[in-house]
Structures are given as structure tokens and as C-alpha cells.
Structure 1
Amino acid sequence: MNSLPLLRRSGSIRHFTGLFLSLVLLVSLASCAKPKKNGGVSAPEEESLTTSPLPSRGDFNPETDVNYAPLRAETVYFSFDSSAIPSGERGKLEKAAQWMAENPDRLLLLAGHCDERGTEEYNRGLGERRALAVREYLIGLGISPQRLHTISYGKDRPVARGHSEADYIRNRRVELGVIEK
């Protein structure tokens, strides 16, 4: 059945085209909306990629109440533009889960980082996705979701200040910090 006669009976093709273009414009404008910033820290929202409920940030300051030294060797490194945990990094998370089992009263802050390439907004989102991927992996290893907090620093806290691929590799990471408070 030809749909053109139906269009002519119910109105003009021009009217249909105008509605279609209006819909395309509306969708385009909606996709340009900028996410709200929260003091430079990416706060997970309901639309987050995580499948487990996120705990509240609690009574700790991520700037002063976190010690990264105990689990520094378990820092997880990522490929360029990826939040997938490389298979070679999963053993570090198994060691971290073992440490958590031996220290059942301790909480972790999972701090996501990126290299300098990409916009601030994009890197905050990528850092969050990396931290959430590590969180979900640890939950899969039996760690309670209430013991795991996430934050994204994006590209703001590089450990390597150079611009080589070796520097970029060191900056694409999630650090596991023990909450001391």
C-alpha cells in the first residue's frame, strides 16, 4: 500500500516535513544540554552506569581523610579512552578484595583519573566510569557496596607531568584509598 495518498488525505507533505524537522531540532537541542558541575567532583547520579546502589559520601573529606599508601601497589591502569578493566590488572583487585576481607571495618575511596587528552567534562565522566568499573568488580568479588565510595578527578591530578605515551599510561588509573576517618 502506498503511504503517499494517506499523507495527502490527512494533510500536506509540507506539514509532515515541518513536524519531522521540529522533532529533529528538539532532539538536537536536548543533546546539547550541559551536565551540572558539582564543585569539580563528579557525583554519581541515578543515570550512572553502576548497577549497585551507591553509598552516600559520608563524613569524610576526600582531600584529607584518605590514605592511598596501603593499596598503592593495587592501582589499576586502563587503556586509552576505556573503562574496561584489563585482564592483567584484575589480580590487583583480587589482592585489594583480600585486604578488604582482612580489614572488614575499612572503607575505600576509588579515585578515577585520566590522561590530559580530552575535555574536562569528558575526562570527569571517563574517570567516573573507571572508578565505577573497579567498584563493580570489587562487589563481584564479595565486597559490600557500602564500603566503596567513588570520585573522579578527571585529568586534574596527574602523577606524570610529561606528554609521552609512557606518561599518559601512568595517568590513566584508579587509585584505591583507605578512608581514615
Structure 2
Amino acid sequence: MNPSRFLHCLRATIASPEILLSLVLAVGVAGCARPKKGGGVSAPEEESLTTSPLPSRGDFNPESDVNYAPLHAETVYFAFDSSAIPSGERGKLEKAAQWMAENPERSLLLAGHCDERGTEEYNRGLGERRALAVREYLIGLGVSPQRLHTISYGKDRPATPGHTEADYARNRRVELGVIEK
């Protein structure tokens, strides 16, 4: 676009309050994200995970072959916009590792979740990072990597449908589901 045409369009945009407000909001939202080297947006800096090779998802359906009831009390909750396991939640994973030792034939699906804030894509990634953090912690406690599978539901399956800080805190989690198949 030539410079004079650009200035004409800019003047027309500024003259329209609705367009100007939309432009300001778009720039403000874009300014909240951190660009990655290859394009897109990256997550805030956190501890890097040393990931073990992921097993294949196998022959189970995450929608019908997983029972979250046996380890419901061991659901791990996370801080806002974080995949770092809080120190107060680590005891739950120690209990889960003990359960796995007592049930050597069982495998787990680690389901990562987020609150409703953030884009669909960002929340899927954050849910996956949370699930992988739990997986690596359990591996560190002696659970075989082949028995641990991950999935991210992002913000699609809230534990609490509300919009308060307490609701958001309950939705930032990783649930440990026993694979029944």
C-alpha cells in the first residue's frame, strides 16, 4: 500500500470510534502474548520438563474407558497460568504413586484442564503441559512411563461452571483417571 493511501485509511479509522476501539483492544490483547521465535505465542517461562517418551495411547477410548473415581482425591490443582506442581499438591502424587505400586497392572490417563480464560489453543497447550508435569513427577516417583498417558481438555470440561476466582481455581487441574480397558 502506498504511504498516502495508508494515511487516508488511518485517518478514516481514527474518525470512527467503533473501529478505533476495536483496533486498541486488538493491539492490547496481542501485546499480552510473548512471540515465539518461529511465530505464534509462547507460554510464560517455567521449569523445563525432561520428558520421557510418551507411550502410544493404546487401545482405549478416553471418553468411555477411564474411571476418575478411584483417584479423585488426588486431583492436582495449579496456580493461574502455570504448569509447575505446587508443593502442597505433591503429597497427592505420592499417594497416586503408592496406588500405582499396589496396582501394577493398571495404567492412568492424566487429564489436563484450564479455567476459561485464554484462547482455545493456549489452554490446550497449558493443559498438556500440566498433564506432562504430573507425568514426569510420577515417573520420578518410580511409576513406569508406559503406564502413564496424557490428554488435554483445555477449558472444555470445567469442574465448576462459575466465573469467580474460586471456580477458576477448581478448574485449573490434572485429574488422574484409571484406564479400565
TM-score range, shorter chain: 0.7 to 0.9
Structure 1 pair 131/50, CA: closer, same or farther in 2 (3 Å)?
farther
Partner of 1:178: 178
Q: Determine whether 1:116 maps to 2:116.
A: yes
Q: Distance in 1 between the 2:165 and 2:40 partners? A: 32
What is the match of residue 31 of structure 1?
39
Count of aligned positions? 141
**Partner secondary structure for residue 175 of structure 2:** strand
Larger Rg: 1
Distance in 2 separating the partners of 1:28 and 1:131: 22
Q: Distance in 2 between matches of 1:63 and 1:90?
A: 27
* CA RMSD in angstroms, aligned pairs only: 1.9
CA pair 28-134 structure 1, distance change in 2 beyond 3 A: closer
AA in 2 matched with 1:75: T
Q: What TM-score, normalized to structure 2?
A: 0.75
Matches within 5 A, 1:56-67: 56-67=56-67
Is contact 1:124-1:153 (8 Å) kept? yes
Q: Percent identity?
A: 87
Report the secondary structure of 2:70's partner residue. Answer: helix
Q: Distance in 2 between matches of 1:135 and 1:93?
A: 10
Runs of 4+ aligned residues of structure 1 deviating over 3 Å after TM superposition are 27-30
CA distance in 2, matches of 1:150, 1:119: 20
Tell me the distance in 2 between the aligned counterparts of 1:50 and 1:61. 27
Kindly state the Cα deviation for residue 29 of structure 1 after the two structures are TM-superposed.
9.5
Contact 1:110 1:175 in 2 (8 A): yes
CA contact (8 A) 1:112 1:127 kept: yes
Secondary structure class of the residue paired with 1:133: helix
Listed one character per residue, the Cα deviations across residues 100-127 of structure 1 (whole Å, up to 9, x for unaligned) are: 0000000000000000000000000000
Residues in 1 aligned to 2:161 and 2:38: alpha-carbon distance in whole angstroms: 37
- Structure 1 residue aligned with 2:148: 148
- For 2:159 and 2:165, how far apart are their aligned partners in 1? 13
Q: Do 1:50 and 1:132's aligned partners in 2 also have CA atoms closer than 8 Å? A: no
Are 1:157 and 2:157 matched, yes or no? yes
Distance 1:92 1:28 in 2: 34
In 1, the alpha carbon distance for the partners of 2:173 and 2:118 equals 15
Specify the code of the residue in structure 2 equivalent to 1:136: E
Unaligned runs of 5+ in 2: 1-34, 42-47
